[in-house]
A and B are shown apart, each in its own frame.
Chain A
Amino acid sequence: MILIIIWEAISKLQLFPAFMWPPLLFPNEPGGVTVFKTFISGIASGQLLEATGASLLRLIIGFIIAVVIGLLLGLLIYKYKVVDDTLGFFVTSLQAIPNIVWLPLAILWFGLGVGSVLFIVILGAAISVTITSSAAFKGVNPLLIRVAQTMGSSGWHLFRTVIFKASIPQLIAGLRIAWALAWRAVLAGELLGGGGGGLGTLLDLGRSIQAMDLIFSIMIIIGIIGSLIDNIVFVRLEKFVFRKWGISST
Chain B
Amino acid sequence: MTEHIVLQNVYKTFSKKNHSETVALEDVSLSIKRGEFISLLGPSGCGKSTLLNIIAGLEKETSGQVLINGSPITGPGNDRIVVFQESGLFPWMTVLENVMYGLLIKKVPKEEAKMRAMNWIQKVHLGKFADRSPHELSGGMKQRVAIARALVMDPEILLMDEPFAALDEQTRMVLHQELETLWRETGKTVIFVTHNIREAVVLSDRIVLMKTRPGGIKNIFSVQAARPRNSSDSILNYLETRILSELEQEMEKVLKEELGSDYALKKDRLHIDPHNNLGSDI
Hey, which bits of chain A sit against chain B, CB under 8 A?
141, 143-144, 146-154, 157, 161-162, 165-166, 168, 244-247
A149 to B136, CA, bound (A): 25
Instruction: Using known A-B contacts A143-B84, A244-B133, A246-B134, determine if residue A150 contacts B76 with beta carbons closer than 8 Å.
Output: yes
Query: Does the CB pair B90–A146 fall under 8 Å?
Result: no
Query: Does the CB pair B92–A151 fall under 8 Å?
Result: no
B115 contacts A by Cβ under 8 Å: no
Contact of A147 among B80, B84, B92, B136 (CB under 8 A): B84
Residue of B nearest to A146 (CB): B58
Query: Does the CB pair B92–A152 fall under 8 Å?
Result: no
Q: For residue B81, which residues in chain A have a CB less than 8 angstroms away from its CB?
A: 150-151
Query: Does the CB pair A152–B133 fall under 8 Å?
Result: no
Query: Does the CB pair B92–A244 fall under 8 Å?
Result: yes
Instruction: Using known A-B contacts A157-B105, A246-B135, determine if residue A152 contacts B88 with beta carbons closer than 8 Å.
Output: no
Query: Does the CB pair A165–B56 fall under 8 Å?
Result: no
Contact of A153 among B57, B105, B133, B134 (CB under 8 A): B105
Q: For residue A152, which residues in chain B have a CB less than 8 angstroms away from its CB?
A: 76-78, 102, 105-106
Q: For residue A150, which residues in chain B have a CB less than 8 angstroms away from its CB?
A: 56-58, 76-78, 80-82, 159
Query: Does the CB pair A143–B86 fall under 8 Å?
Result: yes
Q: For residue A143, which residues in chain B have a CB less than 8 angstroms away from its CB?
A: 84, 86, 88
Residues 95-145 of B contacting A (Cβ, < 8 Å): 101-102, 105-106, 133-136
B91 contacts A by Cβ under 8 Å: yes
B153 contacts A by Cβ under 8 Å: yes
A168 to B92, CA, bound (A): 10
Instruction: Using known A-B contacts A165-B90, A168-B92, A245-B91, determine if residue A151 contacts B101 with beta carbons closer than 8 Å.
Output: yes
Query: Does the CB pair B58–A162 fall under 8 Å?
Result: no
Q: For residue A147, which residues in chain B have a CB less than 8 angstroms away from its CB?
A: 82, 84, 88, 90
Contact of B90 among A154, A157, A166, A247 (CB under 8 A): A166
Q: For residue A157, which residues in chain B have a CB less than 8 angstroms away from its CB?
A: 105
Residues 23-66 of B contacting A (Cβ, < 8 Å): 56-58
Q: For residue B106, which residues in chain A have a CB less than 8 angstroms away from its CB?
A: 152
Most chain B CB atoms below 10 A, which of A150, A151, A157: A150
Q: For residue B78, which residues in chain A have a CB less than 8 angstroms away from its CB?
A: 150-152
Question: Interface readout for B256-281 with A: 1 if CB under 8 Å, 0 if not?
Answer: 00000000000000000000000000
A226 to B136, CA, bound (A): 35
Query: Number of contacting residues on B, CB 8 A?
Result: 26
Contact of A246 among B76, B82, B91, B149 (CB under 8 A): B91
Min distance, Cβ A146 to any Cβ of chain B, angstroms? 6
Query: Does the CB pair A144–B88 fall under 8 Å?
Result: yes
A104 to B134, CA, bound (A): 52
Q: For residue B80, which residues in chain A have a CB less than 8 angstroms away from its CB?
A: 150
A111 to B136, CA, bound (A): 56
A165 to B93, CA, bound (A): 10
Query: Does the CB pair B56–A246 fall under 8 Å?
Result: no
A246 to B136, CA, bound (A): 8
A159 to B282, CA, bound (A): 71
Q: For residue B101, which residues in chain A have a CB less than 8 angstroms away from its CB?
A: 148, 151, 161
Query: Does the CB pair A165–B88 fall under 8 Å?
Result: no
Question: Interface readout for B202-243 with A: 1 if CB under 8 Å, 0 if not?
Answer: 000000000000000000000000000000000000000000
Query: Does the CB pair A146–B84 fall under 8 Å?
Result: yes
Query: Does the CB pair A245–B77 fall under 8 Å?
Result: no
Q: Could you list 19 examples of A-B contacts with CB < 8 Å?
A: A141-B88, A143-B86, A144-B88, A144-B90, A146-B82, A146-B88, A147-B84, A148-B101, A149-B76, A150-B57, A150-B58, A151-B102, A151-B153, A152-B78, A152-B105, A152-B106, A245-B135, A246-B133, A246-B136
A240 to B136, CA, bound (A): 15
A108 to B54, CA, bound (A): 58
A244 to B134, CA, bound (A): 10
A204 to B11, CA, bound (A): 73
Residue of A nearest to B80 (CB): A150
Q: For residue B92, which residues in chain A have a CB less than 8 angstroms away from its CB?
A: 165-166, 168, 244-245
Residue of A nearest to B134 (CB): A246
Min distance, Cβ A161 to any Cβ of chain B, angstroms? 8
A146 to B58, CA, bound (A): 7
Min distance, Cβ A227 to any Cβ of chain B, angstroms? 28
A246 to B134, CA, bound (A): 8
A246 to B106, CA, bound (A): 28
A157 to B78, CA, bound (A): 15
A240 to B149, CA, bound (A): 26
Q: For residue A153, which residues in chain B have a CB less than 8 angstroms away from its CB?
A: 105
Q: For residue B135, which residues in chain A have a CB less than 8 angstroms away from its CB?
A: 245-246
Q: For residue B102, which residues in chain A have a CB less than 8 angstroms away from its CB?
A: 151-152
Contact of A151 among B84, B105, B133 (CB under 8 A): B105
Residue of A nearest to B53 (CB): A146
Question: Interface readout for B140-160 with A: 1 if CB under 8 Å, 0 if not?
Answer: 000000000100010000010
